Amino acid sequence: MADDQASLRDLVETCAARHGLAQRLLWKWALDAIVRNELVPIFSDGSSLDTKLEHSGRLLSWREIINIVLPSTDRNVPTNEFWANNLIFAAAGFDNWAANAIKRSGAPVHPKRPAGAKRKTPRDELASFIHATYGLPLSGSITYNKIATDFEAKTGVYVKERTVARALGRK
């Protein structure tokens, strides 16, 4: 197998993790796309989706197997099925298809933050607000309560006076 090729199972698991999607959803989309010839696997032996093979004691084509499994993907993800490991795709082609499928579906996607990346906390946002609005050092007439009230009025986020103190680097 070439470096830019991977099994359907590996591609679905990786893509689902990268985009924060449920695996069963991506399995359903991928299997449906295969049946519709939107995603075409790479067969090294020259076979096709209509080539017959033995599955559960019957001779079925890849397409027939997928059609049998497709309705049950909400309950049972075919991760460990032999055929899921034997369907090979170009990784770049699968990623392009997946990106388009995610856009078309309108599914809420919550991508993972890169390792070490920090989310912005209310304290960080408050510190930026204080520097932009009041500057440093603060004049004696500005209270923590006023800063908290102004911050809430501008952003809609309620913070306590203690958060204001912490945003200014005090305990």
Q: What tokens were used for 157?
A: 């986020």
Query: Which two tokens mark 146?
Result: 């006023």
Per-residue pLDDT of the chain (171 residues; tens, 9 = 90+): 456 888 888 999 998 888 888 888 888 999 899 888 888 888 877 778 888 877 778 888 888 888 888 887 777 777 777 777 788 899 999 989 988 888 888 776 666 666 776 777 888 899 999 999 998 888 888 999 999 999 999 999 999 999 999 999 886
Q: Are residues 88 and 43 in the same domain?
A: yes
Q: What's the pLDDT at 87?
A: 85
- What is the reported pLDDT for 20? 81
So what's the pLDDT on residue 129? 92
Q: Tell whether 66 is covered by a domain.
A: yes
Q: Is residue 30 part of a domain?
A: yes
Query: Which of 56, 71, 105 is where one domain is finished?
Result: 105
- The predicted model scores a pTM of 0.59
Residues 29 and 92 in one domain: yes
Domain of residue 71, residue span: 5-105
Separation of first and last alpha carbons in the chain: 58
Please report whether residue 23 resides in a domain: yes
Count the domains in the chain: 2
Do 31 and 98 belong to one domain? yes
Give the CA distances from residue 34 to residues 17, 21, 43, 48, in Å, rounded to whole numbers and listed in that order.
21, 19, 13, 11
Residue 52 lies in a domain: yes
Do 93 and 151 share a domain, yes or no? no
Query: Residue 46 burial (CB < 10 Å; 0-12/13-18/19+)?
Result: exposed
Q: Is 150 domain-assigned?
A: yes
| Distance (Å, whole) CA 49 – CA 63 | 5
Q: What pLDDT, on a 0 to 100 scale, did the predictor assign at position 72?
A: 78
